Amino acid sequence: DIQLTQSPSSVSASVGDRVTITCRASQDISNWLGWYQQKPGKAPQLLIYVASSLQSGVPRRFRGSGSGTDFTLTINNLQPEDFATYYCQHTRYFPLTFGQGTRVEHK
Amino acid sequence: QVQLQESGPGLVKPSQTLSLTCSVSGGSINSGNYYWSWVRQPAEKGLEWIGRIYVGGGTTIYNPSLKSRVTISADTSRNQFSLNLASVTAADTAIYYCARGGDTGSYSGYFDSWGRGTLVTVSS
């Protein structure tokens, strides 16, 4: 199975900040990586697919980048509704796996 | 817009079978380009993909970690798909989500629609 390791596990930030989350894959997955946002008590929501494509309806302040084994999710100009947990997920082959999550908290 | 809703018992005894159903509205589970999955999340933990069914071809793929205990099936007449997880233990206590995944091109493998999730507790 492909292991995905996210860092940091949590980050403290303020509204207006830029937040960067990384996801490292245990092997080359090309650009087969997505990012999800999950708020407490809610299902995850797809933000980014194939590393850098923005899901319909997702604000442009969310940006994905990377390929191979190293990927980044950047949130520019953090908004109040962005405080949540973020997960990466690979789709290179089965089984699909997720990172352990990164929590974006209020500073 | 497609909507998914999980249903089933919230409490299951150890060694019994966990059974959940996902009802889909706003789209047919038999339409092409999508497959239908189950994902679970233990309390305060991460996400685990359980498996998927492609209704058009009747094919299923399961997570090897659960493969011996999992069955996913579909009922196209009711526009539903189901999860059966046998021989459950406390480790299977989690929120269970049903989700729709893309099956073509660059969208393949990503979950763009999710149910709200249902908590299943395994306890005697």
Residues A52-82: tens digit of each pLDDT:
999 999 999 999 999 999 999 999 999 999 9
Residue B16 is encoded by which pair of tokens? 């019994």
Yes or no, beta carbons of B47 and A43 under 8 Å apart: no
**Are B51 and B38 a contacting pair, CB within 8 Å?**
yes
**Are B96 and A83 a contacting pair, CB within 8 Å?**
no
Identify the pLDDT of residue B33: 85
Higher pLDDT, B33 or B82: B82
- A61, A66, A72, A78 alpha-carbon torsion, rounded to 10°: -10
The residue-averaged pLDDT of B97-112 equals 91
Q: In what order do the strands lie in the sheet with A19-25?
A: A4-7, A19-25, A70-75, A62-67
Identify the pLDDT of residue A42: 97
Q: Which residue of A has its CA nearest to B111?
A: A46
Rounded-to-integer distance, Cα A34 and Cα B83, Å: 25
| Nearest CA-CA distance, residue A84 and chain B, Å | 13
Rounded-to-integer distance, Cα A81 and Cα B38, Å: 27
DSSP 8-state assignment for residue A55: P
Residue contacts between A and B (CB atoms, under 8 Å): 53
Nearest to B114 among A1, A44, A89 (CB): A44
Identify the pLDDT of residue B31: 81
Question: Please, which residues bridge with residue A104 across strands?
Answer: A11
Identify the pLDDT of residue B105: 82
Answer yes or no: is pLDDT of A32 > 80. Answer: yes
User: With contacts defined as CB-CB under 8 Å, which chain A residues touch B111?
Assistant: 36, 44, 46, 89
Burial degree of B49 (CB within 10 A; 0-12, 13-18, 19+): buried
Q: Position of tokens 């493998």?
A: B109
Identify the pLDDT of residue A61: 98
Residue B19 is encoded by which pair of tokens? 């059974």
Q: Position of tokens 């299902």?
A: A43
User: With contacts defined as CB-CB under 8 Å, which chain A residues touch B72?
Assistant: none
User: What average pLDDT does the structure give for chain A?
Assistant: 97
Q: What percent of chain A has pLDDT over 90?
A: 100
Answer yes or no: is pLDDT of B104 > 90. Answer: no
pLDDT digits (tens, 9 = 90+) for B32-76: 789 999 999 999 899 999 999 999 888 999 999 998 999 999 999
Nearest to A46 among B46, B110, B117 (CB): B110
Nearest to A46 among B46, B64, B111 (CB): B111
Identify the pLDDT of residue A98: 98
Q: What percent of chain A has pLDDT over 70?
A: 100
Contacting A residues, span 16-35, partner chain B, CB-CB under 8 Å: 32, 34
User: What average pLDDT does the structure give for chain B?
Assistant: 95
Contacting A residues, span 58-97, partner chain B, CB-CB under 8 Å: 87, 89, 91, 94-97
Answer yes or no: is pLDDT of B25 > 80. Answer: yes
Alpha-carbon Rg for chain A, nearest whole angstrom, is 13
